[in-house]
Amino acid sequence: MVSQVPADLPRLVIENVRPSVDGGRYPARRAIGDAVRVVADVYREGHEWIAARVRYRRPGQEPWCTVPMTYEPVWDRCSGEFTVDAVGRWSFAVEAWTDRFTTWRRDIEKKLRAGQDVTFDLIEGAEMVAEASLHAEDADSVALADAAVLLRSDERRAGDRSRIALDEQLAALVLQHLPPADLTSTDRVFDLTVDPVDAAFASWYEMFPRSQSPDPGRHGTFRDAAERLPALAELGFDVVYLPPIHPIGRTNRKGRNNALVTEPGDPGSPWAIGNSDGGHMAIEPALGTMRDFDRFVKRARKLGIEVALDYALQCAPDHPWVAEHPDWFFVRPDGTIKHAENPPKKYEDIVPINFWCDDHAALWNACLDVLLHWIRHGVRTFRVDNPHTKPFAFWAWLIAEVKAKHPETVFLSEAFTRPTRLKGLARLGFTQSYTYFTWRNSAAGLREYMTELTTGESVEFMRPNFFTNTPDILHEYLQTGGRPAFLVRLVLAGTLSPLYGIYSGYELCENVAVRPGSEEYLDSEKYEIRVRDWNGAGNINADIALINRIRREHPALQRLDNLRFGVSENDSILFYHKSARDDELLIAVNIDPHIAMETMVHVPLGALGIAPDEPFEVHDLLSDATYTWQGVRNYVRLDPDVQVAHVFHVRRLVSP
């Protein structure tokens, strides 16, 4: 029996292409200005040299460009890179082929060193040079044709012909014009989502506009909130995030500290969205008008601040959608609309949406219209409330629809859920993700978690946004650690991740829980208006401004994948190294907010390019002190009542 052998089998194997997510099923993520390093395993039988290139295309179906890849034969690996300079969906693929001429030059060089006859080898080379001349033009074609004649010439001495064979200029011409005989391409095109710079590096501040009034007892407005913006710009924040700004439901409105009975004047929870004044496209009248909001966005933009809005897909019982589309909700057997609950918790002021209702196409489009409405009013960043409680298919559809029209849009996923689902949301399109950082408060826990976030496939698609606190989360560490605890978590958030955020009151070290064992704030701003003295005693405003300035001035703090933990001989002091573009930082943080700690840290001299006997300076960017260190082991002492951390900038005393 004779079986038919396919005629188009690939000669080379190309696999394990990076960056990729789930084998290319989802796009990897980059930001404008990033150099995208493409790596692939490429091999074939035998000992032939391999050539490869990256083909890539910018957004908008533009022509394909190519960059060569470097071949590492020991590892059967090829790598090359290109820089992304536009927001949107990029594509790339890897092509490889047998580099016949380089293989020939390598072999003939070996034979010459061994004193072997290369007469027939020179003729083989001449054939490749002649073939290249047929695909070249003008002077290149003539030069190649002449070289082919010389390589074949019996009148030339063997030494002369060998020198021609090994001529670097000839090799460059042949490699440019000789067509691949066995060109092989990846079996799929890989995608990249490229976002704005602040999608990958930004400092966030969460504030309730209704609490920005300087007058106790008066509901704050967008005008009041706009007056606060210059102070936030001075603190170095890039994004101001506003909880829902829509009309708040009146039915089952919650009172102070989540009370079921309200008192006169209780404003209710902003997450109970909608009443007779409107729903998700309307503004709470007490905050002002749409024109006031537009002015707020415009002023923020002038100060270099982006405005992020909460996108919470849930409704108060008196939201217009409930009356107009009761079928969009969960209806009980008695005809009433089911309120939200997460047993044993109940949220009587909220009714959840049924995303798989019979009319879900209209519902999904209504949700899309909400986003497009606020984008038209200058918003391009959205913090999405509890996305893991809505269908993943819905988010994949919605984000794709928005990105097709507005590729610069940023989505922050507030999904405190199981790791698989948290990462699943990031894969399908969420730009940033809340994480479990709030609950990682030991050196061991931080090392383990940061290693997970900065290595492996997740680094290609998930951007962690390290919020130190939220209106729902006041961790025990902050409740019991006093002012030093707030400084510790600030330094960790701002130096471990390019994206971090704080919620109002953090700068004042607010740390009182509603009850022992709870992470809820006493007198939570979710249910009442809080007027604060932002320059009150014990504030950490100067520390926040300093951290944000250091972050902007040091490229090493603007990347996630460059974190390397070092050895600290006291586990209460976390020690790590971040590096980028000759910016070398060594960071030591006392994790214990109560006790002074000392240790010997082991400096990664090899990574820094410093000899064991070479002295070097470390300049503490927090205290402005400078120390001279030498060798691997160096002394650190951190007293939380004085200074909780060092952020050392390494300076060579001897030019490398």
**Catalytic residue IDs:** 385, 414
Helix/strand/coil for 129: helix
Q: What share of the chain is helix, strand, coil (3-state, %, to 5)?
A: 35, 25, 40
Please name which of 281, 244, 278, 271 lies closest in space to residue 366, comparing C-alpha atoms: 281
E strand intervals along 235-351: 239-242, 306-311, 340-342, 345-347
Residues 6+ apart with CB under 8 A from 332: 338
CA dist., res. 481 & res. 511, Å (int): 9
CB 70 within 8 A of CB 38: no
Neighbours of 302 (CB within 10 A): 11
Place of tokens 């809340």: 434
Query: Apex CA 210: angle with CA 308 and CA 341, to 5°?
Result: 75
Q: Which helix (H) or strand (E) holds 192?
A: strand 190-195
Cβ(450)–Cβ(459) below 8 Å: no
Q: Which residues contact 22 (CB under 8 A, 6 or more apart)?
A: 427, 457
Which residues are CB-neighbours of 137 under 8 A, at least 6 positions away? none
> H or E segment at 372?
helix 360-376
Question: Residue 503: how many CA atoms within 13 Å on its side-chain side?
Answer: 21
DSSP annotation of 76 reads T
Q: What counts of helices (H) and strands (E) characterise the chain? A: 15, 28
Instruction: Please answer whether residues 470 and 206 qualify as being in contact, where contact means their C-beta atoms are separated by less than 8 angstroms.
Output: yes
Instruction: Tell me how far apart the alpha carbons of residues 386 and 485 are, in angstroms, rounded to a whole number.
Output: 28
